[in-house]
Chains A and B, each alone.
Chain A
Amino acid sequence: MPRMIALLVAMTMLPQLVAYAQESSETLDIETGGKLRLTRGISTIEGQGGGGLTPWAVITGDETDRGIGGTAHVTAVELPDYSFLSYGGAIGFYDRFELSYTRQEFDTQDVGAALGLGQGFTFAQDIWGAKLRVAGDAVYDQDTWLPQIAVGANWKRADQGAVIGAIGGADDEGWETYTTATKILLDHSILLNGTLRWTNANQTGLLGYGGNLNEDHELMGEFSAGWMLSRELIIGGEYRMKPSNLAIAKEDDWIDLYAAWAINRHVTLTGAYVDLGSIATFDNQRGLYLSLQAGF
């Protein structure tokens, strides 16, 4: 539950933080704002603008092609045996380019003791991301099938190198690249997204990169769909394929069902039911995901 408390604290602080950032930008004569509600996406657990588990081709922040924007997020996931927290910030440049940083903390709680790591043993990692929009306009290209397309890369560093080595992980640092496409079918009020990720990350990298079963990068598909119910509300689901590189613990694909609500121009609250499958030998990790994103 401390994760949820962190979320509540963030809920009061983040909007003020982004309001301050926006004011500062305007003092510097930088144009801010202008995107339509919800079209900047939320922040993934890895920090990119997108859905909750998978990036989208949209660029974070409310800026348009003439300005700069930014977002900050805190995301908590409460599972039967684990507690997960991620938080970070991202900047969008000219609705074209995005830079992000996010830190993930994965608290093993009682499992840590059971595995001999210690009660509440926590795996963490830092994730730096960059994403470039290369084609299309997800919102306005309603007379063509061409989606908005972006390419991105993440550099990740996990903090528990010794444990990662002991459980068969090949490396405690890794990178991945991805291509993602977003299409809004406005006449059906539907959003579709597909991402191809070239990765060897174990549980997004918290358990290292590559392992005794497979060291190489592999192509993983990630899909999400959303149904826009109003200007402020979108509901949908996501599916993310994952590699399974560690002999000691199989890794499952991820699924979620979400609802994202733009409370106002600056703040989006997202709740989801997530099924993260088996994590470090503990199966059926299904639980509640809550994410708060504030941006300008």
Chain B
Amino acid sequence: MRTGAILLINFLAASAPAVAQAAPATPPGEEEVDAYAVSDANAGAAPFEGADMLAAFHGKDGIARVVDDLVERVQTDKRISEIFMASDFVRLRRTLNEQFCYILNGGCSYTGRDMKMVHADHGVTVAEFNALVELLQQAMVREGIAFSAQNRFLAKLAPMKRDAVTR
């Protein structure tokens, strides 16, 4: 019996890593999050092919400026600032950079959670999701990204509405 229990525990311990192992060490400055399986699939969209889109966004530096601007805007826009009130902005900035860079084929990996998990507790409405899209558009305009490239990128993000909007 005892051996059986140990075997069972060993078995559980051996199978657990599939879920837990992936959880990366919490980077400095970020709050801890519950364990989750890390995968590029969590980014919610397949990356573009080729280098055009990355160039249209002015490379990783351009992406970083868009993300910085967006994260600033979500904190001040009164339509959605409440949703982000308790957010870990260090983590949000990092994972958005990863997600955008991955989708724009900038050679990054996405290590954040999937869109369903990220938005699960926020009760986001269609109007709020649209407001977020508008802020991203404003951030992309500010970076001087061509409207056609903005739309190509938004087309990749658009289906995420199904996972993000819960109310």
The tally of residues in B whose CB lies under 8 Å from a CB in A reads 20
Interface of A is mostly: loop
A66 and B125 in contact, given A187-B151, A229-B147 (Cβ under 8 angstroms):
yes
Of A64, A141, A230, chain B has the most CB atoms within 10 Å of the CB of A64
A186 and B158 in contact, given A36-B134, A228-B147, A230-B147 (Cβ under 8 angstroms):
yes
B130 at the interface (CB under 8 A from A): yes
* Contact present for A143 and B127 (CB under 8 Å): no
B155 at the interface (CB under 8 A from A): yes
Q: Which of these, A37, A64, A137, A141, contacts B125 with CB under 8 Å? A: A64
A65 at the interface (CB under 8 A from B): yes
Which residues of chain A are near B156, meaning CB under 8 Å? 142, 187
Q: How many Å lie between the Cα of A226 and that of B162 in the bound state?
A: 26
Interface of B is mostly: helix
B159 at the interface (CB under 8 A from A): yes
A189 and B127 in contact, given A36-B134, A140-B161, A142-B158 (Cβ under 8 angstroms):
no
Q: Which of these, A33, A64, A141, contacts B159 with CB under 8 Å? A: A141
* Contact present for A143 and B148 (CB under 8 Å): no
Q: How many Å lie between the Cα of A231 and that of B133 in the bound state?
A: 11
* Contact present for B147 and A36 (CB under 8 Å): no
* Contact present for B154 and A186 (CB under 8 Å): yes
Of A31, A95, A188, A189, chain B has the most CB atoms within 10 Å of the CB of A189
Q: How many Å lie between the Cα of A142 and that of B159 in the bound state?
A: 6
* Contact present for B159 and A31 (CB under 8 Å): no
A35 at the interface (CB under 8 A from B): yes
* Contact present for B130 and A231 (CB under 8 Å): no
A34 at the interface (CB under 8 A from B): yes
Query: Could you tell me which A residues sit within 8 Å of B by CB distance?
Result: 31, 33-37, 64-67, 95, 137, 139-143, 186-189, 228-231
Of the A-B pairs whose beta carbons lie under 8 Å apart in the complex, a sample of 21, sorted by A's number, is A31-B127, A34-B127, A34-B128, A35-B130, A36-B130, A64-B127, A64-B130, A65-B126, A66-B125, A139-B158, A140-B158, A141-B159, A142-B156, A186-B151, A186-B152, A186-B154, A186-B155, A186-B158, A189-B148, A228-B151, A231-B147
Query: Could you tell me which B residues sit within 8 Å of A by CB distance?
Result: 125-128, 130-131, 133-134, 137, 147-148, 151-152, 154-156, 158-159, 161-162
Having A66-B125, A142-B158, A189-B148, one finds 16 other A-B pairs with CB under 8 Å, namely A34-B126, A34-B127, A34-B128, A35-B130, A36-B133, A64-B125, A64-B130, A65-B126, A137-B161, A140-B159, A140-B161, A142-B154, A186-B151, A187-B156, A228-B147, A231-B147
